[in-house]
Amino acid sequence: MDDLFGSADGFEILPMIDAEVRFWRGFYSSARSAELMQQLTNETSWRQETIILWGKQHLQPRLSAWYADTDTKYAYSGLMLAEREWTATLQQIREDVEAATGLRYNSVLLNLYRDGQDSMGWHSDDETELGINPAVASLSLGATRLFRFRHRFRHHGAAAQKSVAVELTDGSLLLMAGPTQHYWQHGIAKVRAETGARLNLTFRKITKRAKSPQQENQDEMGRQSRE
């Protein structure tokens, strides 16, 4: 997959139009990644959440946990995530990710994919709470999984965009910024091959803007695609 990228300042740039996506391949060494994976697996009270999609309840095909600064609320797929206080491990990772990306985050969503049968459905991180052009920094630990992007609108004709896939390797960091969430969806499909556990942390900045009824409605439609 190396030939997908241009390169600048320690990160690679994905060649995607309507997007700003950067990739740090070895953000953490494999020794540091293994240490963090073990600490986070043990320190986190994991939950398998029930979400509502198209009016029906489903168990999410992965475990998750949410940590955030006080007073930071985030909701998707009919799920209001209750914030917890940052652990020292998560705080250290947040500082490392902020230093690399030059951005500040006030929350992190942890997802534990127990094996290849765990997945994340197609969605964009475009909830109103994230503001316009949100930056989402995604750290991966453990088993490599394929992260796919597909354009939301350019499906046909000369301007059609092919989907883009990136192998999210152990210790890698992916930053999605600029207009990425407006134009692209992303997801992690199930895989048949035997696959070990993978832990993913997505750092976000929640802004506390009130929602208009129109925005609520738009958000709800966006949420229905995430499972």
Please choose, from the candidates 185, 188, 150, the residue with its C-alpha nearest in 3D space to the C-alpha of residue 168.
188
CB 202 within 8 A of CB 143: no
- Start-to-end CA distance of the chain, whole Å, equals 27
What's the min distance (Å) between Cβ of 212 and ligand AKG? 24
32: helix, coil or strand? helix
Provide the token pair at 14. 């994905």
63 lies in the site for ligand AKG, by CB under 6 A: no
Provide the token pair at 216. 């609520």
The Cα 224–Cα 227 span in angstroms is 8
CB 52 within 8 A of CB 75: no
The Cα 107–Cα 74 span in angstroms is 9
What's the min distance (Å) between Cβ of 156 and ligand AKG? 26
Question: Out of 39, 41, 119, 202, which residue is the one contacting ligand AKG (CB under 6 A)?
Answer: 202
Site string for ligand AKG, 117-156 (x = CB under 6 A): ---x----x------------x--------x---------
Number of residues near ligand AKG (by CB under 6 A): 11
CB 46 within 8 A of CB 65: yes
What's the min distance (Å) between Cβ of 45 and ligand AKG? 18
106 lies in the site for ligand AKG, by CB under 6 A: no
201 lies in the site for ligand AKG, by CB under 6 A: no
188 lies in the site for ligand AKG, by CB under 6 A: yes
Residue whose beta carbon is closest to ligand AKG: 200
111 lies in the site for ligand AKG, by CB under 6 A: yes
Tell me which residue has tokens 């990160």.
11
Question: Out of 106, 107, 200, 224, which residue is the one contacting ligand AKG (CB under 6 A)?
Answer: 200
Q: Return residues touching ligand AKG (CB under 6 A).
A: 109, 111, 120, 125, 138, 147, 168, 186, 188, 200, 202
